[in-house]
């Protein structure tokens, strides 16, 4: 399994919120900053997007996809500075659905809900607003067309289709950006490095194996010293620290989404006993696993109440 796939399948969309909207000026939509990643696509017409400063508004045109990181509200409107409404009020004021007329704008809005905290390693590498263009033969354009068609009519299994199309859309967009961005995550650049590609693959494929630096160096085809030096230069940390961080990320996902006991989680992430796992988890997070799980459940209840 490649590393981008591994990261995104653990963070894949569930219950994706996606909508197709037809509007005629004047119109404006205000979207809160609680969504981790918003996706916007104009199918027909034009729209403008800005976050805090309207002077930094960018025009969205057909054939482009725009990703907006969460944390700060953003605006989508027919022109910069237009009055923008919250989504509920905006939807109530929309005219009955029908065929777009000559002056209409048709756009898609999506919200990517990540499962687990692995998303940080992906989303944090993106700029606050990222716009990507797609050529006529680009797979991105094909996925955009599929999304638009899927949202036209409600059919059985639509939510599953939307979830998976959003996964594909995000993979293609991230791959396009990371390929050219100096801010691509270290693990993404390392996965393309022939000296480290096989070693990272091995750690992600079998994180529970009791890897040693010597074994990892053998997989890389390097001496122990050359491997440790190369790994540190490219990834910014020693090999076994990277492995521990990856195991702890997996452990957090398991604690969030499974009813596994400590023994089961420990085995899945490469610890020989619950005691050694608890000690490692406490060193990494400052809390034992059960306390961390309770804290997470409390936070989720508070968020749900909001």
Domain ranges for the chain: 3-179, 189-305
Q: pLDDT-based confidence at 302, cuts 50/70/90?
A: low
pLDDT band at residue 221 using 50, 70 and 90 as cut-offs: very high
Q: Which residues pair with 74 in a beta bridge?
A: 31
Mean pLDDT taken over the chain = 84
Residue 109, C-beta contacts closer than 8 angstroms, at least 6 positions apart: 18, 19, 21, 29, 31, 38, 39, 40, 76
- pTM comes to 0.72
Residue 147: its pLDDT value, please? Answer: 80
Report whether 200 contacts 187 (CB < 8 A): yes
240 versus 124: which is more confidently predicted? 240
Considering the domain delimited by 189-305, tell me its CATH architecture.
Orthogonal Bundle (1.10)
Q: Which residues pair with 85 in a beta bridge?
A: 29
Task: Kindly tell me if the per-residue pLDDT of 98 is higher than 70.
Answer: no
Is residue 287 helix, strand or coil? coil
Strand partners, 28: 77
116-121: average pLDDT = 58
pLDDT given for residue 155 in this prediction:
78
Residue 1 binned pLDDT confidence (cut-offs 50, 70, 90): very low
Residue 12: the pLDDT is 56
CB 65 within 8 A of CB 169: yes
Q: Do domains 3-179 and 189-305 have the same CATH topology?
A: no
pLDDT of res. 233:
95
Residue 179: Cβ-neighbour burial (10 angstroms; 0-12, 13-18, 19+): exposed
The string over 143-174, giving b where at least 16 C-beta atoms fall within 10 Å of a residue's C-beta and e elsewhere, is: bbeebbebbeeeeeeeeebbbebbbbbbbbbb
In this prediction, residue 220 has a pLDDT band, given cuts at 50, 70 and 90, of: very high
Give tens-digit pLDDT for 87-97: 888 888 877 65
Element at 66 (helix H, strand E): strand 64-69
Poorest-pLDDT segment among 153-162, 198-207, 283-292: 153-162
User: What percentage of the chain exceeds 70 in pLDDT?
Assistant: 85
Q: What is the CATH number of domain 3-179?
A: 2.60.120.10
Q: Kindly state the average pLDDT of the residues 224-251.
A: 94
């Amino acid at each position: 399994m490649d590393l981008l796939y591994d990261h995104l399948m653990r963070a894949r969309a569930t219950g994706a919120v996606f909508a197709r909207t037809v509007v005629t000026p004047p119109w404006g939509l205000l979207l809160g900053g609680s969504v981790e990643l918003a996706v916007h696509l104009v199918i027909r017409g034009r729209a403008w997007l800005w976050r805090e400063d309207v002077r930094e508004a960018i025009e969205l045109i057909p054939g482009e996809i725009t990703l907006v990181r969460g944390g700060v509200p953003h605006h989508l409107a027919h022109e910069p500075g237009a009055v923008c409404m919250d989504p509920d009020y905006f939807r109530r004021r929309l005219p009955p659905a029908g065929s777009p007329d000559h002056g209409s704008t048709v756009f898609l809005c999506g919200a990517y809900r990540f499962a687990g905290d692995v998303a940080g390693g992906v989303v944090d590498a993106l700029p606050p607003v990222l716009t990507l263009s797609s050529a006529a033969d680009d797979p991105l354009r094909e996925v955009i067309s599929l999304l638009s068609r899927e949202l036209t009519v409600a059919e059985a299994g639509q939510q599953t289709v939307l979830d998976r199309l959003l996964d594909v859309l995000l993979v293609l967009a991230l791959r396009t950006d990371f390929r050219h961005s100096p801010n691509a995550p270290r693990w993404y650049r390392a996965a393309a490095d022939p000296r480290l590609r096989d070693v990272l693959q091995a750690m992600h494929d079998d994180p529970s194996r009791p890897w040693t630096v010597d074994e990892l160096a053998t997989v890389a085809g390097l001496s122990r010293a050359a491997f440790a030096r190369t790994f540190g230069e490219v990834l910014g940390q020693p090999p076994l620290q990277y492995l521990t961080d990856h195991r702890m990320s997996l452990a957090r996902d398991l604690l969030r989404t499974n009813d596994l006991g400590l023994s089961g989680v420990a085995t899945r992430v490469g610890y020989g006993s619950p005691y050694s796992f608890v000690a490692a988890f406490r060193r990494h997070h400052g809390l034992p696993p059960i306390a961390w799980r309770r804290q997470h459940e409390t936070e989720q209840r508070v968020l749900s109440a909001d």
